[in-house]
Amino acid sequence: YGDILSAENTFMLIAAERALARLAAAHGRADIAARAHAAAERGAAAANAHLWDEATGHYLCAHRDTLARIPVP
């Protein structure tokens, strides 16, 4: 599965970046908070652009190299 972008894993990483941003902010590390927040926003934008399938109303997995969505049977 090394060549598959998993929607589930992508959103787990985005959630982790958002959690890191909150923790960093709570501990006075605005520099880390800003980087983590920016990474989460970039990840969410990329997921929406490449993993969202309007026809099915779901996020789908995609091939890493082509970004072609993998249909769900």
pLDDT digits (tens, 9 = 90+) for 21-69: 999 999 999 999 999 999 999 999 999 999 999 999 999 999 999 999 9
Q: Is the pLDDT of residue 1 over 80?
A: no
pTM of the entire predicted model: 0.87
In this prediction, residues 5-23 reach a mean pLDDT of 96
Residue 8 token pair: 């589930």
Which residues make Cβ contacts (< 8 Å) with residue 71, sequence separation at least 6?
A: 60
